[in-house]
Structure 1
Amino acid sequence: MKYLIILEPTETGFSAYSPDLDGCVAAGADRAETVALMQEAIAFHLEGLAGEGLPIPAPQSEPVLVEV
């Protein structure tokens, strides 16, 4: 499955979250590290849900850029 993640620059690097997975976040020193950590966080999050017998949320978010 592919989940949308949102990357945000911070004072010390980047942070990321997935709108489809509440509480699934990561932070790293740079963009590449943050994406890699987020991949691991999503896998861990989904394993935890499955281990608890909870449903795995289907990816639903999609990016849309609007011009203002």
Structure 2
Amino acid sequence: MKLTYAVVIEQISNNCGAYAPDVPGCISTAETPDEMLANIREALAFHIDGLVESGDPVPVPAMSIDDAIAYHGQALADSDAESMADYGDATSTLSTRFETVEVEISTPQATLAG
């Protein structure tokens, strides 16, 4: 089974980070945006395999790129200065990309959430 998730890739001065809003808790980092696509695909596959092994449902890929853009914008708006202060001087984001990533689920007994 193949699932396609929208992902958010943020580049800062020295690396990139990515997450899939539909899959809470699954994040990854890399040195370049292109490397990040491979890393987040691997992280999603690993995370989903863990969910399946635990008998937990697999998150349904529900967000489109437009939904991910809106979600990311809202997440930034919801973070207040006090909570960001816990991280010290945050490095500013140079760019943000929104992509889709296809993940192969090798376990036929996977149960989709929803």
TM norm. shorter chain > 0.5: yes
Deviation at 1:10, TM superposition (A): 1.5
Q: Distance in 1 between matches of 2:65 and 2:5?
A: 11
Per-residue displacement from partner, 1:11-38 (whole Å, max 9, x unpaired)?
2121100000001001100011111000
Runs of 4+ aligned structure 1 residues displaced above 4 Å come to none
SS of structure 1 residue aligned to 2:4: coil
Q: Which structure is larger by alpha-carbon Rg, 1 or 2?
A: 2
Q: Which has the larger share of helix?
A: 2
Q: Distance in 1 between matches of 2:47 and 2:13?
A: 26
Q: Find the partner of 1:25 among 7, 24, 27.
A: 27
TM-score, structure 1 as length reference: 0.89
TM-score, structure 2 as length reference: 0.55
Structure 2 gaps of 5+ residues are: 71-114
Which structure would you say has the larger RCO, counting Cα contacts within 8 Å and 6 or more residues apart? 2
Structure 1 gaps of 5+ residues are: none
Q: Distance in 2 between matches of 1:22 and 1:61?
A: 13
Aligned residues: 66
Q: Distance in 2 between matches of 1:63 and 1:38?
A: 16
Q: CA RMSD in A?
A: 1.4
